[in-house]
């Protein structure tokens, strides 16, 4: 074969390999394919669950695709805890006075809910569902209630009236309604992370609807870094306020700045106080909680949105293992933030850096 011909063949093969590698790189976040040579262990799977999306990134030398297993696991999980599935365990409990557990998810979420309910003195209460529905944030849509109806519904808001043991749960007052939407996504993250751990995966980032668990390191040998959105009603989801590095921790954020509606010129947020029965009105815009597991991080973040800024700071001091980032409006309406001491080394404030750069 002629020397130039051999060179052309070799060049063509190299070019073909380069094109193929570029293709793999561009496809890495849309399907769970074996990674490119620059990311030799990275796998990404994604899908939908709980009315939102999930995304799981993990490192695996064997390039194993766990999407089917994760989807199957989440379907069973929802069959236990989703109020949108008529024959789920929680839906059956809401229709009946008691239920015996048939799946492994109801009891742990009841136990964690009781713990957070007690630590927050009732600010986190999974029986607040009828009020959430009444104010238009449940399956039936907006339906504003008058004060008399709110008072009647408040009689059914008391998680202390749910009794349970290792085998069953029962209501101490008929008509109680459980809704774990403020804790279930976080628990789902924990369940998926444990599934991957059982498969031998030690480096992962699991996310469902913005709630996260990070384990180990990313493909660059660094801590996983995640963003906290700018709390702006009209801001885009990708506009970040801060970036947080997670060291084998879970993160959950709750806020009132996107899930709301306006009626007769009045804004109604989706966080309903189990104490008053009305949407909360205070300066706290978002609460980000870092904890060992995402179930509790999710629940505490919700409770803080009920409690407000100062009470949330006090709660963080009382509960071991919690770190927080609070974003709030001060008395003059200016955007401020609070970072607990243990979280400070792991936080980069994006918005402050932008403002400083503009000032310079």
Q: What is the pLDDT of residues 71-100, one digit of tens each?
A: 999 999 999 999 999 999 999 999 999 999
CB 192 within 8 A of CB 75: no
Cα–Cα distance, 192 to 76 (Å, whole number): 12
Q: E-assigned strands of the chain?
A: 42-49, 52-59, 98-100, 162-164, 168-171, 204-208, 211-215, 224-229, 240-246, 250-255, 260-263, 266-269, 284-291, 323-329, 335-339, 347-349
Q: 3-class SS at 193?
A: helix
Beta bridge partners of 171: 162
Cα–Cα distance, 306 to 122 (Å, whole number): 10
Band of residue 142 on the pLDDT scale cut at 50, 70, 90: low
State the residue for tokens 């229709």: 95
Per-residue pLDDT at 288 exceeds 90 = yes
Q: Could you tell me the pTM of the whole model?
A: 0.84
Question: What confidence tens digit (pLDDT) does each residue in 321-348 have?
Answer: 999 999 999 988 899 999 999 999 999 9
Per-residue pLDDT at 175 exceeds 50 = yes
Greatest alpha-carbon pair distance for the chain in Å reads 94
- Sorted by where each starts, the structural domains of the chain and their CATH numbers stand as 74-359 (3.10.520.10)
Instruction: Check residues 171 and 134 and name the one with the higher pLDDT.
Output: 171
Query: What pLDDT shows up at residue 237?
Result: 52
Beta bridge partners of 255: 286
Backbone conformation region of residue 313, classed left if phi is above 0, alpha if psi is from -120 to 50, else beta:
alpha
Query: What pLDDT shows up at residue 193?
Result: 98
């Amino acid at each position: 074969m002629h020397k130039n011909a051999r060179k052309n063949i070799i060049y063509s093969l190299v070019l073909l390999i380069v094109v193929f590698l570029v293709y793999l790189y561009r496809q890495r976040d849309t399907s769970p394919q074996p990674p490119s040579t620059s990311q030799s262990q990275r796998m990404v799977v994604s899908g939908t669950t709980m009315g939102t999306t999930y995304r799981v990134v993990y490192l695996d030398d064997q390039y194993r695709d766990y999407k089917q297993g994760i989807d199957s696991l989440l379907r069973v999980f929802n069959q236990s805890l989703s109020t949108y599935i008529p024959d789920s365990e929680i839906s059956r409990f809401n229709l009946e006075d008691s239920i015996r557990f048939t799946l492994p998810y109801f009891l742990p979420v009841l136990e964690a809910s009781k713990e957070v309910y007690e630590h927050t003195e009732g600010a986190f209460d999974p029986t607040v569902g009828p009020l959430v529905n009444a104010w238009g944030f449940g399956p039936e849509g907006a339906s504003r209630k008058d004060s008399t109806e709110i008072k009647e519904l408040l009689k059914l808001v008391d998680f202390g009236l749910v009794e349970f043991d290792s085998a069953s749960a029962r209501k101490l007052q008929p008509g109680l309604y459980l809704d774990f939407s403020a804790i279930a996504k976080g628990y789902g993250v924990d369940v998926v992370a444990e599934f991957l751990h059982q498969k031998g995966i030690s480096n992962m980032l699991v996310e469902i609807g913005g709630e996260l668990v990070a384990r180990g390191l990313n493909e660059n040998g660094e801590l996983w870094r995640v963003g906290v959105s700018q709390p702006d009603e009209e801001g885009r989801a990708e506009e970040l306020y801060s970036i947080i590095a997670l060291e084998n921790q879970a993160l959950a954020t709750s806020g009132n700045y996107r899930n709301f509606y306006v009626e007769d010129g009045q804004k109604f947020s989706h966080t309903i106080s189990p104490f008053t029965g009305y949407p909360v009105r205070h300066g706290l815009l978002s609460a980000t909680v870092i904890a060992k597991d995402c179930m509790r991080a999710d629940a505490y973040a919700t409770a803080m949105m009920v409690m407000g800024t100062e009470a949330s700071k006090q709660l963080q001091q009382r509960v071991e293992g919690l770190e927080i980032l609070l974003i709030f409006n001060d008395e003059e309406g200016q955007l401020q933030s609070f970072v607990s001491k243990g979280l400070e080394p792991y936080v980069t404030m994006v918005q402050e850096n932008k403002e400083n750069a503009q000032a310079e």
